[in-house]
Amino acid sequence: MIINILLIFIVMKGTLNPQLKVGDKIICYHMEGELGVPPGTSGRVTSITKDPFEFDSDEQIISVDWENGSKLGMISSTDAWKKISE
């Protein structure tokens, strides 16, 4: 897989971990403990749910269809992404 460095620099000036809605296109900057979605991979948000294991926080699980075929979700408290303007 080729990491799109140009795309990373284009969205660098945006807010890190902005609020998302289903259908938003994002780019992964960091996914804690996972290698299946390397930095620079883009994808489309498919759902956003509250983390059922975090009772006292607003932590969310953001499900994404990644361009590399992965379905790994982002965790709002540990992972990093930016929204891509279309």
C-alpha span between 41 and 37 (Å, rounded)? 6
- pLDDT tier at 10 (50, 70, 90 boundaries)? low
What is the tens place of the pLDDT at every residue in 29-77? 999 888 899 998 999 999 999 877 777 778 899 999 999 999 999 999 8
- pTM of the predicted structure, to 2 decimals: 0.79
Listed by start position, the domains of the chain span 5-83
- pLDDT tier at 13 (50, 70, 90 boundaries)? low
C-alpha span between 16 and 55 (Å, rounded)? 24
Q: Looking at domain 5-83, does it have CATH number 2.30.30?
A: yes
Asked whether residue 11 carries a pLDDT value surpassing 60, the answer given is no
Asked whether residue 21 carries a pLDDT value surpassing 90, the answer given is yes
Q: In terms of Cα–Cα distance, which of 72, 37, 77, 44 is closest to 60? A: 77
